[in-house]
Structure 1
């Protein structure tokens, strides 16, 4: 997706050979026009797959997931990272490690919102080592739902996440595939 790649080149900041900061438009400040274009692209790529729900992880996946859900006309569920007084029933839970935060979190979804009759599209901001994706897949499996695929805004193709998901037979659609962050420069596969 050319507009996303351009935005990454112009406003992304390479912090190291492993970390790309995109808080100017994706995960702190949000560019609504870009998010709308991202949602439209995911909707186009997953058109006709029978998606009934979109699942993401709070908080950075919410904006692209909501735009995709709006265009596809389906509800969006986000896995919560923090305990809540309102989230008390038997929960669908998984543990996820955050590379950027350097810690594990438990994430949860209420089974009232996700069930065996759902065909789910996962939308997330980044795919690196695949830990967040695997946690969401586990929750979807716990619910007895099926997975239509994963829509990733930015994939760090030089890390193992994509290869693991491909090996498991999952459909992965990434809008910007970063092949390297070496020398402070973003290089794309496509």
Structure 2
């Protein structure tokens, strides 16, 4: 998506050779028109896969996953990062480290919203090392649902997350692939 790449060039902030801050368009402030375009793109890529649910992780994955869910006419389920008083005590749960937050959290999905009858499209904002993605995929597998693919807005190709998923036979579709963040600049693959 050239429009996404242009927005990343204009609004992304390279923090280091490992970290790209996308707060102006994806992680703090949302560009609604761009988000809907990204949702349409994912819907088109997975239109023939019989998707019955879209799954993401709160919170940065929600807008794009929602846009794709609207386009595909299916429910969106997001894995919660915090347990609430009303949380399902029997929820699917996985402990995952966060590359950008530098912490380990539990992510959970209620058994009520994910089951063996589902064909799931997993959508997220960025994949670096892929720890959160691996946790969500484990939850999908434990539910008995079928994972049809993983859609990610930004793939950091210089980190192993997406390539590890591909090696496991998971279909990964990225809207923008970043080769490196060297010299304080974004270099696309």
TM-score of the pair, normalised by structure 2: 0.99
Residue 88 (structure 1) shift: 2.8
Residue 146 of structure 2 corresponds to 146
Residue 103 of structure 2 corresponds to 103
Residue 82 of structure 2 corresponds to 82
Once the two structures are overlaid, the 10-residue window that deviates more, 165-174 or 80-89, is 80-89
Asked if residue 39 in structure 1 is aligned to residue 39 in structure 2, the reply is yes
Q: C-alpha distance in 2, partners of 1:135/1:45?
A: 23
Local SS of the residue matching 2:27: coil
Q: Where do 1:8-157 residues align within 5 Å?
A: 8-157=8-157
Task: Kindly provide the CA deviation profile for residues 93-114 of structure 1, in whole angstroms up to 9, marking residues without a partner as x.
Answer: 1111111110100000000000
Task: Kindly provide the CA deviation profile for residues 52-84 of structure 1, in whole angstroms up to 9, marking residues without a partner as x.
Answer: 000000000000000000000000000000011
Residue 34 (structure 1) shift: 0.3
Q: C-alpha distance in 1, partners of 2:55/2:94?
A: 14
Local SS of the residue matching 2:67: helix
Task: Kindly provide the CA deviation profile for residues 25-62 of structure 1, in whole angstroms up to 9, marking residues without a partner as x.
Answer: 10100000000000000000001100000000000000
Residue 183 of structure 1 corresponds to 183
Residue 89 (structure 1) shift: 3.2
TM-score of the pair, normalised by structure 1: 0.98
Unaligned runs of 5+ in 1: none
Task: Kindly provide the CA deviation profile for residues 137-183 of structure 1, in whole angstroms up to 9, marking residues without a partner as x.
Answer: 00001101000100000000000111111110000000000000001
Once the two structures are overlaid, the 10-residue window that deviates more, 172-181 or 87-96, is 87-96
Local SS of the residue matching 1:165: helix
* CA root-mean-square deviation: 0.6
Local SS of the residue matching 1:129: coil
Once the two structures are overlaid, the 10-residue window that deviates more, 112-121 or 80-89, is 80-89
Local SS of the residue matching 2:4: helix
Residue 160 of structure 1 corresponds to 160
Local SS of the residue matching 1:30: coil
Counting matched residue pairs gives: 189
Local SS of the residue matching 1:115: coil
Residue 86 (structure 1) shift: 1.2
Which aligned runs of 4 or more in structure 1 are off by greater than 6 angstroms? Answer: none
